[in-house]
Amino acid sequence: MSANPNRVHATFEGEAIEAAAGASVAAALLASDRIAWRTTRDGAQRGLFCGIGVCFDCLVEIDGESGQRACMIPLQEGMRVCDNGTRDTTADTGADAEEAAQ
């Protein structure tokens, strides 16, 4: 990690993310090419939608505290961000590819 004071470093699901100082957690996730970071009970992918804290689509867990709106929380050095415990681990089994092919 660089010593650049204008960059903030954290992790999402154990993988490094970074953003400009003052940027939101959502901005850092988008900058790391993540457009969705949680899954609803129905299996729908969710990420940033409104960007102003109204819709709650961007919920994440930050340093063990669930239900945090990624669009409203500035990324802090060393933050541990997780998917809020809602990700469906079976979603990547290829079923989506089969469905898209139909």
pLDDT at 86: 52
Give strand pairing partners of 101.
Answer: none
Burial class of residue 8 in the structure, from the number of CB atoms within 10 Å of its CB (0-12 exposed, 13-18 middle, 19+ buried): buried
pLDDT at 2: 55
- The one-letter code for the residue type at 42 is D
Low-confidence ranges of the chain (pLDDT < 50): 87-102
Q: Output the pTM of the full model.
A: 0.78
- Decide yes or no: CATH 3.10.20.440 for domain 7-83: yes
The span from the CA of 68 to the CA of 65, in Å, is: 7
- Alpha carbon dihedral 66, 46, 87, 37, in 10-degree steps, equals -80
Q: What residue spans define the domains of the chain?
A: 7-83
Do 18 and 27 form a contact (C-beta atoms < 8 A)?
no
The span from the CA of 55 to the CA of 49, in Å, is: 7
pLDDT at 8: 97
Give strand pairing partners of 68.
Answer: 60
